[in-house]
Amino acid sequence: MAARVNPNLIDDVKHYGADDVVKCYQCGNCSAACTHSKGEHVFPRKSVHYLQLGLEKPLRASLDPWLCYYCGECSDQCPREAEPGETMMSLRRWLTAQYDFTGISKILYRSGTSELIAVLVVALLTGIGFLAFGFTQGGGNLAVYDGPGAFLPAHDIHIFDWTMGGILGLLLGINCVRMWYFTMRGEHSVPVPLSLYIKHAFTIVVHFFTQKSFQECGKKRPWRNHMILMFSYLTMLILIMGFVKQMQAGPAVNWYVHSFGYLASAGLVVMAIVMVRGRLNKDESYHQHTHESDWMFLILLLYVVITGIAQHILHRIGMPEAANIMYVLHLMGVVPMLGLEVPFAKWSHMAYRPLAIYFSQLQDAALAEGAVPLGAPAKAQPVA
Amino acid sequence: MSNFDADELKRKLHDVINEPKVDRRVGVYFLRTAEDKSAAADLGALHEYAAHLPGVQMVRTMTVKAALDPEVLARELRKEKLNTVVLAAEHPGFYQPAFARALALAGADGSRVSLASFGERGDGGSAKRANDVVSSAVQGVPFDLPAKPAMPIPFNTETLVIGGGIAGIQAALEIAESGNKVYLVERTGTVGGRMAMFDKTFPTLDCAACILTPKMVAVGQSKNIEILVLSEVQEVTGSVGNFTAKVLKKAAYVDASACVACGDCAQFCPMTASSEFDMGIATRKGIFIPFPQAVPNTYMINPEFCNWHQSGGKKCGICAKKCSKGAVHLDAKDEVLELKVGNIIVATGYDTLDPKRIDRYGYGKYPNILTSLEFERLTNASGPTGGKIAMKVQRTNKKTKAEEWVFEPDGPKPKAVAIIHCVGSRDQNYNKYCSRVCCMYSLKFAHLVREKVPDAKCYEFYIDMRAFGKGYEEFHERIREEGVHLLRGRSNSIVERDGQMYVHGEDIASNRLIDVPVDMVVLSVGLQPSKGADELAGKLNIPRDSDGWFRELNYNAEPNSTGRDGIYLAGVCQGPKDIPDTVAQASAAAAYVLGSIVGAKSREATKVEAKAGTPVRS
């Protein structure tokens, strides 16, 4: 079946950051330069080609953009300054918007103003909501931070966290199913038996926690920084989801819990600053281009960490009113950051990336077992 | 060059001084496009400066997005009652028609548009220069004088040709044929240039030497051509019709008129050096002749590789002793010649990109990776293997005891050869332009591989196949039919595993990564202006383009002219081109020179006639 061309695709993807796609003259240098490009997944040239032609469906069915970790080697070597690395980054944003069934992702990515408005609105609603809750359902007294009669009781926050986690998880889960449908059940997809799904399931866990593919990139520093950021974040997540009561209790420092909290906070602050500085100095090829959504993510992260640390300090030094206000300000950052980024924007890659690696392994394994892609066109035989 | 009629100048100045001054109401427009990274970036200061120049009524900065509308401009001119417009921009001439029309629509004289170009040659970056450019356009010369062509008498009919490659040879022969004297200045020890190194020419697969050698001999024998090898132009002064060129003629240490090229000297010379003519893949003696058919056919010494010179005249000197003609003069000195010429043809050709700059191709790391010119020498019958395509073998140097890789006629034959196109060409990191000849010479190489080593596989890695000339597409088809694998996809790197080289790249047709095992790789390196072209441009005061090639006056209409009368371009020094185009352009350059010589002669004759016919009055 002839592929359908969307002539506006290239302009559409421009909104997601891919500015130099037209410069590419299809020499294939990038694909050969990439350490992740192999076997069935030879990229980024092919993705750039799809973009140039406007082949929307094959592009949507492609896992390749998720297999790229943007070390920037392809962009460094590109003879046309076509920035294939940035194109792959933009395609990940575009794919995120494709997977998202609500259409919110599209709005957030395509317009920085919309994203800003969305963040502000959610922040405002959060602020009003928590203040109203505190005064009506909660302790009602801003001067009490923890223990019985706390303005925002840890028990309620705990319930709120789990509710929000559940909703966000559900949204992201639906998007993941859509990703699976587009990439594994599309027109030319490889039929994969259930047994293989089970056999390789552990891949998701391994790649989620180790990002070992990232480590295969020529440059190691980004992987290291990313690991520190991720584990700091994960630690924080576990503390908040599981130990919010111990976290909130004070003013004494509960070292069993808080030492982890301090480590994670330090990791988050340092990495956020390193990443902001990298993007400002444009020191590496993967820092040359910064999409509005990247700035939004980093600013929110910094804001959340700083307000989080501040409320902790204010509480410990005996200023419960200030601590409570800072806590509300902190939540006004946390809710939009997670609420918008996890299912609709940058954070979603924590699910898509390991899934993509898993799916690509399934495809390779199925092909190795002799599976034939649906409606596969006759492939040219590679030489030698 | 032009001079002015003094009487007319006086009369005009008189008119200007005595006539009531026209009320000049000047509007200065700074024009820039949206993406203009204009050198005169500090428009604020410039703006201020222009506003205070005499006669300036209005200063405006316009960012031009679409075509200018003369009607709109005319309204503004009328409103401000402007009658003169100054356009200041990187290339202001582009906007002139719109403003000329606007002035006419506003009822003023459409010719009163002055251009202030920041993009003109010179220090465009300085603020003072930007001020001066605007100032001179605003104040300008208040009247025009018709230029009259100047012809210094007598017009020197001798010509200097810089560069002794096929372009210089062709131009020199054409001019000499007409009976006019030519100095052919060549930096190396022989004329012939790059073409002399080639084995075959594309697309006809003619033997390059069979075409070039007769021309070289003709140059050597022509009474009208004086060949100056080992020579470089140091300084050029004067103008068309009477240039003076200082040429440094380095000592060859062998008297060309006495040397019979018997080779006795080289036989006893203890020195070995790598041969420049063979691109370093073969060796020569300290006293040497670049190649057997060199013109002039004379031995020479490069003092850098000579025992006698290196020891300050204390050691060796055996060549002088062995020469039965007494032709070797080791104490000869460099000399500076002063040549008087009427025209100059620049034909300095090209160098190739140094592939060491792209380390992932492994040139210099693996022995059997060659540049295109090295491969030309390898396949040439006068090369180190007598024209056989063999791989390098490891040998112990008898003198230095070091292991080194050398070509030998009985070396092993490669089983697979890869030819990689566009090495450093069409690449924003190296040379942005297409070098134009590489696709075709690469196909020629593939043919030579298939012809000389029929068992060898041959792979061409290309981005786009540019077979644009007469007979080129047919040649492309022919090579394809000869069983050469043409792979679309610029390869990425050359790697070695277990002693086997692999070319790593993507085969675009199948979207597969491939590792092709090969024994020899030819890097089709791009052309770039020959070393010293920048200095020569300064000496001749002729412009170069952004890629470093000499800039022609007009791409379409004046591809041979430099913008300086009497200095013409021929061959690759103006931009990459193949041999037929080079020869055609060289002949055209010769035609320009001959035209100026014949023109000068006929003018002189007219003048003499006119003088004879004028009655003498006292």
Per-residue pLDDT tens over the stretch B523-533: 999 999 999 99
pLDDT at B617: 46
pLDDT at B125: 62
* DSSP letters spanning B452-507: H-TTSEEEEEESS----STTHHHHHHHHHHTT-EEEES-EEEEEEETTEEEEEEEE
- Between strands B242-249 and B335-341, the pairing is antiparallel
For residue A80, what is the nearest residue in chain B, using CA coordinates?
A: B428
User: Chain B residues with CB inside 8 Å of A29's CB?
Assistant: 490, 492, 505-506
Task: Determine the Cα–Cα distance for residues B357 and B335; give it in Å rounded to an integer.
Answer: 37
* A window 29-88, beta carbon within 8 A of B: 29, 31-33, 37-38, 42, 45-46, 77-81
Instruction: Determine, for residues B490 and A28 on separate chains, whether the beta-carbon distance falls below 8 Å.
Output: yes
User: Chain B residues with CB inside 8 Å of A81's CB?
Assistant: 428
- DSSP structure class, residue B87: E
Compute the nearest-CA separation of B495 from chain A (Å): 12
Compute the nearest-CA separation of A77 from chain B (Å): 8
- The arithmetic mean of pLDDT across residues A12-27, rounded, is 94
Compute the nearest-CA separation of A2 from chain B (Å): 18
CB A351 within 8 A of CB A169: no
Mean of all residue pLDDT scores within chain A: 91
User: Chain B residues with CB inside 8 Å of A46's CB?
Assistant: 511
Task: Determine the Cα–Cα distance for residues B334 and B186; give it in Å rounded to an integer.
Answer: 15
A vs B: CB pairs below 8 A: 76
- The arithmetic mean of pLDDT across residues B201-209, rounded, is 94
**For B324-366, how does the pLDDT look when each residue is reduced to its tens digit (9 = 90+)?**
999 999 999 999 999 999 999 999 999 999 999 999 999 999 9
Instruction: Determine, for residues A28 and B508 on separate chains, whether the beta-carbon distance falls below 8 Å.
Output: yes
Structural domains for chain A: 9-99 (1.10.1060.10), 104-360 (no CATH)
Task: Determine the Cα–Cα distance for residues B505 and B259; give it in Å rounded to an integer.
Answer: 53
Instruction: Determine, for residues A45 and B508 on separate chains, whether the beta-carbon distance falls below 8 Å.
Output: yes
Is residue A138 over pLDDT 60?
A: yes
pLDDT at A327: 94
Is residue B21 over pLDDT 60?
A: no
Instruction: Determine, for residues A32 and B506 on separate chains, whether the beta-carbon distance falls below 8 Å.
Output: yes
Higher pLDDT, A362 or A140: A362
User: Chain B residues with CB inside 8 Å of A218's CB?
Assistant: none
Task: Determine the Cα–Cα distance for residues B159 and B233; give it in Å rounded to an integer.
Answer: 13
Phi-psi region of A284 (alpha: psi -120 to 50; beta: other; left: phi over 0): beta
Q: Of A165-179, B37-51, B95-109, B375-389, which range is least confident? A: B37-51
User: Chain A residues with CB inside 8 Å of B512's CB?
Assistant: 42, 382
Q: Of A89-93, A380-384, B442-446, which range is least confident? A: A380-384
Instruction: Determine, for residues B426 and A28 on separate chains, whether the beta-carbon distance falls below 8 Å.
Output: no
- CA proximity to B520, closest of B354, B423, B393, B427: B393
Spatial neighbors of B9 by CB under 8 A, at least 6 apart, are: B145
Q: What are phi and psi of B179, to 5 degrees?
A: 90, 10
Q: DSSP 3-state assignment of B526?
A: coil
- The arithmetic mean of pLDDT across residues B561-568, rounded, is 92
ipTM: 0.88
For chain B, how are helix, strand and coil distributed in percent, rounded to 5? 30, 25, 45
How many of the other CB atoms lie within 10 Å of CB of B18?
7
Structural domains for chain B: 2-148 (3.40.50), 159-250+335-349+530-600 (3.50.50.60), 264-322 (no CATH), 351-528 (3.50.50.60)
Instruction: Determine, for residues A383 and B429 on separate chains, whether the beta-carbon distance falls below 8 Å.
Output: no
Percent of chain B surpassing pLDDT 70: 92
CB A68 within 8 A of CB A88: yes
Is residue B611 over pLDDT 90?
A: no
User: Chain A residues with CB inside 8 Å of B456's CB?
Assistant: none
- Between strands B343-346 and B335-341, the pairing is unpaired
pTM for this entry = 0.81
Is residue B511 over pLDDT 70?
A: yes
**For A94-122, how does the pLDDT look when each residue is reduced to its tens digit (9 = 90+)?**
999 999 999 999 999 999 999 999 999 99
User: Among partner residues A42, A81, A381, which is closest to B428 by beta-carbon distance?
Assistant: A81
